[in-house]
Amino acid sequence: MAAFNVDSFTSINIPLPPCCIEFWPLRSEYAVVGTYSYEAPLSPNETQTSSVPIDSGDAQAGERFGSLELIRVSGNNITLAGSFREGRLRKLPAILDLHFYPPHLEQPTYLAAASSVGSIDIFSIVDLDRSEATHGLDDLPHQQDIEIGFKQLHSWQVSSPTTLVTSFAWHPTRPHVLFTLDTGEVGVWDVPSERLLYSFDANKHTEIAWTAAWDLAGVSILSGGDDCTLRYHGQSDLSWCDRRIHSMGVTAILPLQDGNKDNLFITGSYDEHIRLIQAPQSGRRTELAELILGGGVWRLQKLPTDTRDAQALGEDGVALILASCMHGGVRVVKLARNTDEEWRFEVLANFEAHASMNYATDCQPRDQSTVVRSFISTSFYDKLICKWQF
């Protein structure tokens, strides 16, 4: 079946280039965008804002800065509801990744942002009309006409201020944060004690580490980077490095739940492939399926599914995957498995209206009466935010 090409959308421009986005679980009409800009020095009295993309690995002297942009999505309308560009002591650094706190940390208004100065910075969404400082906002979900914005709370300095935190991921049940660095390192941060728990120096990437993911049990870790390797970090210093599967840098890793097989991961790469890989603690790694998506696969996200998705999944569908494909735009992809245990990827929808790099996309949570999904996607150089449906 041919993929559906989405050509109807609304859009707005924001002040700085967007590189990450996530809808707020507490109020799903709002999404937060993290931005990234690079200002290269020309002379002692001149500077120039550069269009260096976040994936370039550029290490020249200069200033990286960014912002948090609050986007409101209501029906077919998309508006810029607020911005945060100045921190307590300095201009906000560039933001490479962001995620709201998971439910088990019980802070639904908190979000964390990976920065260009070696930190993961913590913010809260607050009611700007209140004179007192507040973090909880227990009544916020019930109010529709308040003015909300961001309050910076504190920072976790997970590495040197000259280091970029390229991505991070919450542990599925514990107060731990997995992070990757442009130095090739992968580490785990403990939230309550605000200290480094582990740094996997013996199995670090030789170039930029772009992505890492916990397995579904939260026991072991898989990471990927510019050195084209997939690296496993397990218990008791068990580790391995795979240089065979990917021909270019590994930029996205997504664990997959399946009742028949363990240790399944979906990966994205600069080589434009999405892959399903079985990656056990020991033994040979196996590529079970692959598909060229027509752009470097920068981010992957599993879409939640229920009975409303029966037609999209069909009889053999296992999962729906949202892929941000850099110069290729956005793909909605089905992962399927037939009765002979053969796996395949199939593109269900393309969104290719972006004229520059699509680094981030998210799906707005649906209410119970809605079948069609709404998406927000971004493009870097033209600072564009698009809202579309499929």
Q: How far apart are CA 156 and CA 88, in angstroms?
A: 15
Q: How far apart are CA 101 and CA 110, in angstroms?
A: 6
Q: How far apart are CA 52 and CA 32, in angstroms?
A: 22
Q: How far apart are CA 96 and CA 118, in angstroms?
A: 11
Q: How far apart are CA 141 and CA 135, in angstroms?
A: 14
| Full pLDDT tens readout for the chain, 390 residues | 788 999 889 999 999 999 999 999 999 999 999 999 998 766 655 555 555 567 665 545 678 999 999 999 988 899 999 999 875 556 899 999 999 999 999 999 999 999 999 999 999 999 876 634 444 445 554 555 567 889 999 999 999 999 999 999 999 999 999 999 999 999 999 999 999 999 999 999 999 999 999 999 999 999 999 999 999 998 777 899 999 999 999 999 999 988 777 899 999 999 999 999 999 988 889 999 999 999 999 999 999 999 999 998 998 999 999 999 999 999 999 999 998 889 999 999 999 999 999 999 999 999 888 889 999 999 999 999 999 999
- pTM across the whole model: 0.92
Residue-range domains of the chain with CATH? 4-389 (2.130.10.10)
Contacts 24+ apart (CB under 8 A), 236-243: 237/202, 238/281, 238/282, 239/200, 239/202, 239/203, 240/282, 241/203, 242/279, 242/285
DSSP annotation string for 21-71 = EEE-SSSTTEEEEEE-EEEEEEETTEEEEE---GGG----SSEEE--EEEE
- Amino acid identity of residue 278, one-letter, is Q
